[in-house]
Structure 1
Amino acid sequence: MTLCKTLAGLAAGLLLATAVHSAPPTTPWKRGIEHQRQADLGNGTFLNPVLAGDHPDPSVLKDGEDYYLTLSSFDAYPGLPIWHSRDLVNWQPLGHAITRNVGAIWAPDIVKHQGRYFIYFPARTAEARSNFVVWADHIKGPWSEPIDIGLGGYIDPGHAVGEDGKRYLFLSGGAYVQLADDGLSVVGTPRHVYDGWKYPESWDVEAYAQEGPKINFRDGWYYMTTAVGGTAGPPTGHMVITARSRSIHGPWVNAPNNPIMRTQSASEPWWSRGHATVIEGTDGRWWMMYHGYENGYWTLGRQALLEPIEWTADGWFVAKGGDLGQPLRKPAGASVGAHGMALSDDFKGPALGAQWSFFNPAQDEYRRLDFSGDGLLLQGKGLTPRDASPLTAIAGDPAYQFEVEMEVGPGAVGGALLFYSDRLYAGVGSNGEAFVMHRYGEERPTRLAPSTKGGRLWLRVTNNRHIVTIHTSADGQTWQKYPVQMEVSGYHHNVAGKFLALKPALYAAGEGKVRFRHFRYRALD
């Protein structure tokens, strides 16, 4: 049976009538990478972002000549992705530090102490919030199971070692607490130590939101670099501030040039810039790595940005990158290889590719995966994308396209999506005989009945600067344009919350199975 038919009655959402033909794109597939926009310009300069797409709250560890980075992964599992670089511009993935779902993971901190690596992070479920730690003796793992260290009233733990040799976690709101010597539990209770820096009341910000403390030690001073102003909301809200103290216990004195950096105007190329880690380069130059939204593209999530800083004669630092709209001189250091990772996937197995994560998976979610045959065979779950734990990948381009071949088994529904959250997504699914349209996180028809036959088809999704078109094919050669187009510029945090990004996604629902083959991603001009 062919699926090359168009809709008869959009309310029903079934393909029953005459085809609407559209020629497939003639541009050949490129090698799909984590982001097509390369930061390294190849002439000794780079252009932000250094990690395009959803890479929020970056925490960077300098370990000799190597840099390791992790970030907020929220509801995506495996989570806490770890990246490796030697020049802060070209990054390669090393894997993930957590597979067991403990909730939405917010701003982590990656550190090394006495030869062991630690990642401290908060996680939130619908029922509770806490802070956790994972550890490993090698950066590539294996990583420990997450250890709950409590502190449910705080987020964004930042690790530090005091002049007394003891370990501490600095927390949101200006508190800190001592850690046990092994770093795996808390000693005592948090104590408030820092009131932050207050910006002028006339500034347009989301909220005060003092968070993300990161501690550096330089020339006899401890520096606490913090975010205030809220991570979203008005483009001018988020910012970087710093304070210093001779003792880890305070008192902390604010920098006279606070804020160190903020978006001054919505006309700038990067919005809501903030949440910085201060890093020393291998040549003595210093940098801040932080996140920001691309002007007009909240949907891509908060992207990782790199800015040079300079130290002043009185021991403070100033930002030197401007609005980040122009190329900057690269840090020293050799490249670790090709930047990013492939997004295109032939599903050859034997495991899920590094580009994929389940959305809010169950503890046994990985049992749904089967690579024993041709492609990925995915067991259905739930009835719709909202309860199917779709597989998602991070896109870093304002315009891109992806396609996939699907073999939908009896009793299953499979589809291709732009997925923000279980409340907000758009795309098309099929039971092998008819289609269901997903828009606004709703289904039309409200439910697609399972088929006893199933079927084979191809789906193509194009997101061209928020305008979404979908094509279908029965043979992968001749394509039909789906008769409904969508506009998704509002699929982002300021509308739906959760601090997420709009991602390419695949899902399998129902009691049957869906086999996916030949996922292809490419950026568009």
Structure 2
Amino acid sequence: MKKIFDKLKSGTWVTMSGILMTVLSGIPAFSQKAAGKGNQPVFTQFTYQGNDRIYRNNPLNEGEFYSPILQGCYPDPSITRKGNDYYLINSSFSMVPGVPIFHSKDLVNWKQIGHVLDRPSQLKVEKAGISAGIYAPDIKYNPHNNTFYMITTQIAGGIGNMVVKTQDPAKGWSDPIKLKFDGIDPALFFDDNGKAYVVHNDAPPRGKELYNGHRVIKLWEYDLEKDAVIEGTDRIIVDGGVDISQKPIWIEGPHLYKKNGKYYLMCAEGGTGGWHSEVIFVSDDPKGPFKPAPGNPILTQRYFPRDRTNKVDWAGHADLVEGPDGKYYGVFLAVRPNEKNRVNTGRETFILPVDWSGEFPVFDNGLVPLRPRTKMPAGVTNQAGQNGFLPNGNFTYTDDLSISPLNYRWIGVRGARENFISTSKEGVKITPLPVTIKATEPTSTLFCRQQHASFEATVKIRYDPQTEKDLAGIVCYQKETFNYVFGITRKGNDLYVVLERTGNGKSTILGSEKIAPGNGIRLRVAAEGDDYTFSFAAEGQPFKNIGGTVSGDILSTDVAGGFTGALIGLYATSANDIVIP
């Protein structure tokens, strides 16, 4: 799938529909419950503790909050407002359920209220690579019909561009409505007169690609009654980017806005890496022509020294909203590399005030090195980690895994968690599927996101593997070909704890140790930037390391590729392929 997307990015593939129909159509939905009756591990007492230096060195002052507001793999943010309610969503790729959705009254304190795509009929990612699936969703509220819309590209299951809708984001969304246009990153715009439009990224017309990375932004009129683009209304409103003579690359992530009678088109430009930026255009008509702002880009981190301290990078892919104080704010993605410039936590959701006192919006301090602390809107109290609001900065949480349904932080990859888990007062029980973590299909793994460069994650497991094919424990996962497995299995009549590293599909056992049967063992993974350690402890005993200190390189985007951050998983399999030496 990654190769397919790379071909799309390079311009080799001209249409998204060609990819979807040729490669991904006809994939059956995965509805099978966890297979087999093998031994079922019980996980409980999961504790996660983040301890990043940047937060220790930058305590909050009165009237401040931390950005990113969503730490870990929450990329491609989009935001909308209805009255005093704000809703924020993110890309989810092959994570299940898809498109996490958050609610706030003040842009500072956020609660997750669920996922937009939480049913098999909405999400078809069972055979998709980790970086396929759901790309760049856009959420918009239409006051003319009191309806919320989420439009996105699902690169899986033969779906392509699609839209779902609801009148209450907390009460579920419709099944997908497929849309008949190619390209990616669609967004909706509802004009004051009730008319609707879709803007999106696409390839230039066939035979007119001028260079690698040449893309265009298209606009269609949208029929709200039929939920369809109106045939024949498509037009290119931006060709290449701000200045096509400079060969700008990957113009994408478009959003349309209206202010003071003018139409503003804001896009990402430069690709979602080190040259990423946000640019803005203006027109008197939503159909263009659009003129770029003379001060573009309005947000980027690309001009600063590579070795700067407290580095934030890759800033772009933004969306704007008017805040509770009448001032505009912009959410956007960026990354915080570790000391070896590796991106393990993925692309996170940041927020900044936006100065729109002139003709064009400009992100406050968006053209200087980003800082961790941001001034709150007037009259807001920071309640992060309290009263049900999400924590940020350095935080600790403990989950006994006994409450049903589980916290929204727990997800599956390619398959729903409900297919292989059950909860009781003992904790969460995983019924192992007969596939390993290396499979490009649903596995019996319950994931949460790595949210800090320096962290500890500990879980207690009760498990008695019956054969050498049984294994359960913790995984650190970037994708099926880049991961660590730290678990309990069997060799003959003996139990062992074992650590395996898989990099680029090649697996190596880094250490193992025989253990005595017991009532439970604690497993721990800890990281200090790029240095990871895996340890275990029998009941009442201190932790003992297995495998020494290992590199987090294989958990980073720059090594493993793709668009996701590292995940921490509670894992079980009845098809273990790790052979104890």
TM-score normalized by the length of structure 1: 0.81
Equivalent residue for 1:120? 151
Letter in 2 for 1:130: G
Q: Does 1:130 align with 2:160?
A: yes
Letter in 1 for 2:257: N
Equivalent residue for 2:96? 77
Equivalent residue for 2:530? 466
For residues 323-360 of structure 1, the C-alpha deviation after alignment (integer angstroms, 9 at most, x for no partner) is: 22263321235458434168532111322321111112
Equivalent residue for 2:460? 405
Equivalent residue for 1:181? 224
The number of residue pairs the alignment matches comes to: 469
Equivalent residue for 1:161? 190
Q: Does 1:253 align with 2:291?
A: yes
Q: How many Å apart are 1:284 and its aligned residue?
A: 2.0
For residues 455-512 of structure 1, the C-alpha deviation after alignment (integer angstroms, 9 at most, x for no partner) is: 8422111111121111112215332211343101353223222201012111111179
Letter in 1 for 2:312: W
Equivalent residue for 1:275? 317
Q: Compare 287-296 and 317-326 and name the one that shifted more.
A: 317-326
Q: Does 1:293 align with 2:328?
A: no
CA contact (8 A) 2:315 2:333 kept: yes
User: Alignment partner of 2:224: what SS?
Assistant: coil
Equivalent residue for 1:212? 253
CA contact (8 A) 2:49 2:455 kept: no
User: Alignment partner of 2:559: what SS?
Assistant: helix
Equivalent residue for 1:428? 486
Q: Compare 75-84 and 337-346 and name the one that shifted more.
A: 337-346
Q: Compare 436-445 and 60-69 and name the one that shifted more.
A: 436-445
User: Alignment partner of 1:46: what SS?
Assistant: strand
> Cα 1:183–1:369, aligned 2, differ >3 Å: closer, same or farther?
farther
> Cα 1:258–1:278, aligned 2, differ >3 Å: closer, same or farther?
same
Out of 168, 172, 175, the residue aligned to residue 145 of structure 1 is: 175
CA distance in 1, matches of 2:459, 2:350: 31
> Cα 1:485–1:128, aligned 2, differ >3 Å: closer, same or farther?
farther
Where does structure 1 lack aligned partners over 5 or more consecutive residues? 1-28, 513-525
Equivalent residue for 2:355? 310
> Cα 1:325–1:417, aligned 2, differ >3 Å: closer, same or farther?
same
Q: Does 1:394 align with 2:435?
A: no
CA distance in 2, matches of 1:135, 1:53: 27
CA distance in 2, matches of 1:140, 1:510: 37
User: Alignment partner of 2:184: what SS?
Assistant: coil
Equivalent residue for 1:353? 407
Q: How many Å apart are 1:277 and its aligned residue?
A: 0.6
Q: Does 1:192 align with 2:232?
A: no
TM-score normalized by the length of structure 2: 0.74
CA contact (8 A) 1:34 1:343 kept: no
CA distance in 2, matches of 1:276, 1:40: 27
CA distance in 2, matches of 1:154, 1:40: 44
Equivalent residue for 2:390? 340
Q: Compare 166-175 and 322-331 and name the one that shifted more.
A: 322-331
CA contact (8 A) 2:437 2:480 kept: yes
Equivalent residue for 1:244? 282
> Cα 1:389–1:348, aligned 2, differ >3 Å: closer, same or farther?
closer
Q: How many Å apart are 1:419 and its aligned residue?
A: 0.8
> Cα 1:182–1:37, aligned 2, differ >3 Å: closer, same or farther?
farther
> Cα 1:157–1:431, aligned 2, differ >3 Å: closer, same or farther?
same
Q: How many Å apart are 1:160 and its aligned residue?
A: 0.6
For residues 25-66 of structure 1, the C-alpha deviation after alignment (integer angstroms, 9 at most, x for no partner) is: xxxx98858999699935112342222221111101122122
CA contact (8 A) 2:49 2:456 kept: no
Letter in 2 for 1:137: Q
> Cα 1:202–1:180, aligned 2, differ >3 Å: closer, same or farther?
closer
Q: Does 1:93 align with 2:112?
A: yes
CA distance in 1, matches of 2:194, 2:220: 14
Q: How many Å apart are 1:150 and its aligned residue?
A: 4.1
> Cα 1:369–1:47, aligned 2, differ >3 Å: closer, same or farther?
closer
> Cα 1:202–1:179, aligned 2, differ >3 Å: closer, same or farther?
closer
User: Alignment partner of 2:294: what SS?
Assistant: coil
For residues 145-187 of structure 1, the C-alpha deviation after alignment (integer angstroms, 9 at most, x for no partner) is: 2332243x31111111246532211001311222221473332
> C-alpha root-mean-square deviation of aligned residues, in Å?
3.1
Letter in 2 for 1:407: R
Q: How many Å apart are 1:93 and its aligned residue?
A: 1.0
CA distance in 1, matches of 2:436, 2:48: 31
CA contact (8 A) 2:499 2:509 kept: yes
CA distance in 2, matches of 1:242, 1:410: 61
CA distance in 1, matches of 2:424, 2:374: 47
Out of 416, 431, 453, the residue aligned to residue 379 of structure 1 is: 431
CA distance in 1, matches of 2:411, 2:361: 38
- Give me the identity figure in percent: 25
CA distance in 1, matches of 2:361, 2:346: 28
CA contact (8 A) 2:536 2:543 kept: yes
Out of 323, 329, 335, the residue aligned to residue 369 of structure 2 is: 323
Letter in 2 for 1:226: C
Q: Compare 458-467 and 380-389 and name the one that shifted more.
A: 380-389
Q: How many Å apart are 1:94 and its aligned residue?
A: 1.0
User: Alignment partner of 2:558: what SS?
Assistant: helix
CA distance in 2, matches of 1:162, 1:196: 25
Letter in 2 for 1:410: Q
Letter in 2 for 1:360: R
> Cα 1:246–1:346, aligned 2, differ >3 Å: closer, same or farther?
same
CA distance in 2, matches of 1:440, 1:402: 20
> Cα 1:352–1:45, aligned 2, differ >3 Å: closer, same or farther?
closer
User: Alignment partner of 2:438: what SS?
Assistant: helix
User: Alignment partner of 2:418: what SS?
Assistant: helix
For residues 419-439 of structure 1, the C-alpha deviation after alignment (integer angstroms, 9 at most, x for no partner) is: 111111113122251234221
CA distance in 2, matches of 1:137, 1:202: 44
> Cα 1:93–1:158, aligned 2, differ >3 Å: closer, same or farther?
same
Out of 124, 144, 168, the residue aligned to residue 102 of structure 1 is: 124
Equivalent residue for 2:20? none
Q: How many Å apart are 1:299 and its aligned residue?
A: 1.0
Letter in 1 for 2:400: D
Q: How many Å apart are 1:102 and its aligned residue?
A: 2.4
Q: How many Å apart are 1:273 and its aligned residue?
A: 0.6
CA distance in 1, matches of 2:399, 2:552: 25
Letter in 2 for 1:346: D
Letter in 2 for 1:493: T
> Cα 1:160–1:476, aligned 2, differ >3 Å: closer, same or farther?
farther
Where does structure 2 lack aligned partners over 5 or more consecutive residues? 1-45, 126-132, 202-215, 577-581
